[in-house]
Amino acid sequence: MAVNENKLPNEEFYLDYSSRASDNFAGILSALNISLLVSSYQSNAVFLLTGKDSQLHCEVKPVNKPMGLYADSQRITLSSYNGVHDFILNEPAKNSIDNGYLDSTERLPKKLQIDEALQQDVIDQAQAIKRSDALYCERFSLSTGVINIHDIAWGQQGLWAVNSSFSCLSTLDATFGFVARWKPEFISKIAPENRCHLNGMAMKDGAPRFVTTFGKGDSKESWRDGATGTLIDTKSNEILLDKLTLPHSPKYDDGYVYFCDSGYGSVNRYNLQTKNNEVIATLPGFTRAIKVLDDLLIVGTSAIRKSDVKRQLPATDYQLPIDKSIGAENSICGLWILNKATGEQIAHLHFDGEVTQIYDIAVIPYGSPSLIESAQAIASHLFYFSEELAHAL
């Protein structure tokens, strides 16, 4: 894959986003007619990976400190440094562009005429949308303040977010910055103190059901005193597992909770009936991000940086188990497609430039979608509306 040179917000340099993948990686995306969205807060970017015609393509979208991702056939939602951004599938605008709208800007009404300097950008963006099989347009953004949003998901009560700063699960809407809905029983107060580093959230039946934390402390950033992570059932408030090492990314599937015991570089499967916690794969990096896709798992790994471990756990001389086993210098930032049953590696992608950290992965059920942010020139000409006209008001 070619090096992408996209200058990111507040950066004085260009990052090298180059990557290399196994020969079958693009073919798997193409065969499944899916694309992947990957967040990297370290890179201030999300990456849209597509495999159209079994050729791997990576589009870089600048975002300020992105982490949690959500995608389905109708919407894509992502978290950023101080809010969330929601994109809606816009079939009417896609149809208009496919039928020639914006092939030329000269036919637009006077009020919609495009500045000459932007005309070619709009035409080029329209042609790119024509080549896509779905169009998602940014519909709204919510400002939350810096609440350190980690995992996000839509459920029966709306948009859920892991609010790490306030040690709770929250819903987000246009009225409040957030509404605190649940906290671990060992947390006594909703306060912006990141007491246990609540980070991961698994949905079941339209609601959050399992979460991960880095600790069980009830004072400001007490989780930094050591690696004593947990997996918690939010319905019973039972701590299902403790003494985990910086766990992340729980996902529920068919009686099991899959999660990353990140400090070990492992992907684990917890059997809710037998209470057995099984390691199904160990990967060469800090495991974080899991997506269950039928018989597959898509997992992210981040490079291990000893300075980060010391910053996160300053009260200890802690060394991550994965660092002990392979050495931080041998860790890999990348994506792995695994057999869900056996953990066998099927395909991989490695970022071998300056991308070192991955937070989340979302699967978009289209092979080559377009994502249009509100700041892009073409966004002013993409309409999405309904008609509910009354005879008289």
Q: Does residue 95 register a pLDDT over 60? A: yes
> And the tokens for 55?
């050729």
Q: What is the pLDDT of residues 306-319, one digit of tens each?
A: 655 655 555 455 67
In a domain, 160, yes or no: no
Type of residue found at 378: I
Neighbours of 115 (CB within 10 A): 10
Total count of domains within the chain? 1
Q: Is 107 helix (H, G, I), strand (E, B) or coil?
A: coil
Q: What is the pLDDT of residues 262-309, one digit of tens each?
A: 999 999 999 999 999 999 999 999 999 999 999 999 999 999 876 556
* Dihedral pair phi/psi, residue 288, rounded to 5°: -165, 125
Residues 160, 154: contact at Cβ < 8 Å?
yes
Rounded to whole angstroms, the Cα distance separating 18 from 4 reads 7
What's the pLDDT at 2?
33
Domain span including residue 52:
1-66+83-142+364-386
Rounded to whole angstroms, the Cα distance separating 308 from 313 reads 8
Q: Are strands 369-372 and 134-143 parallel, antiparallel or unpaired?
A: parallel
In a domain, 371, yes or no: yes
What's the pLDDT at 188?
98
Residues 267, 258: contact at Cβ < 8 Å?
yes
What's the pLDDT at 39?
98
Smallest Cα–Cα separation from 198: which of 216, 181, 225, 180?
216
Q: Does residue 250 register a pLDDT over 70? A: yes
Type of residue found at 353: G
User: Edge-to-edge, what's the strand order for the sheet holding 266-271?
Assistant: 248-253, 256-261, 266-271, 277-282
In a domain, 224, yes or no: no
Q: DSSP for 341-367?
A: TT--EEEEEEE-SS-----EEEEESSS
Q: What is the 3-state secondary structure (H, E, C) of 235-276?
A: CCCCEEEEEECCCEEEEEECCEEEEEEHHHCEEEEEECCCCC
In a domain, 244, yes or no: no
User: What rounded mean pLDDT belongs to the chain?
Assistant: 91
Burial of 374 (0-12, 13-18, 19+ CB in 10 A): middle
In a domain, 56, yes or no: yes
**Segment among 184-198, 303-317, 374-388 with least mean pLDDT:** 303-317
DSSP 8-class letter at 73: S
Rounded to whole angstroms, the Cα distance separating 170 from 172 reads 6
* First CA to last CA distance, the chain: 58
Mean pLDDT of 342-348: 98
Rounded to whole angstroms, the Cα distance separating 388 from 123 reads 32
Residue 75 pairs with which residues in a beta bridge? 88
More reliable by pLDDT, 71 or 16: 71
Q: What is the pLDDT of residues 110-130, one digit of tens each?
A: 767 777 777 888 889 999 999
Q: Does residue 6 register a pLDDT over 80? A: no
Q: Is the dihedral of CA 302, 308, 312, 315 positive or negative?
A: positive
**Segment among 52-56, 102-106, 152-156, 268-272 with least mean pLDDT:** 102-106
Q: Is 216 helix (H, G, I), strand (E, B) or coil?
A: coil
In a domain, 342, yes or no: no
Confidence band for 228, pLDDT divided at 50, 70 and 90: confident
In a domain, 312, yes or no: no
Q: Taking each helix axis from N to C terminus, what angle separates 116-131 and 91-98, rounded to the nearest 10 degrees?
A: 100
Rounded to whole angstroms, the Cα distance separating 288 from 370 reads 26
What's the pLDDT at 115?
73
Rounded to whole angstroms, the Cα distance separating 222 from 193 reads 9
Neighbours of 83 (CB within 10 A): 18
Smallest Cα–Cα separation from 136: which of 72, 84, 51, 194?
72
> And the tokens for 182?
């649940």
Smallest Cα–Cα separation from 78: which of 66, 90, 64, 60?
66
Neighbours of 232 (CB within 10 A): 26
Rounded to whole angstroms, the Cα distance separating 224 from 222 reads 5
Q: Is the dihedral of CA 146, 76, 267, 264 positive or negative?
A: negative
What's the pLDDT at 116?
73
In a domain, 179, yes or no: no
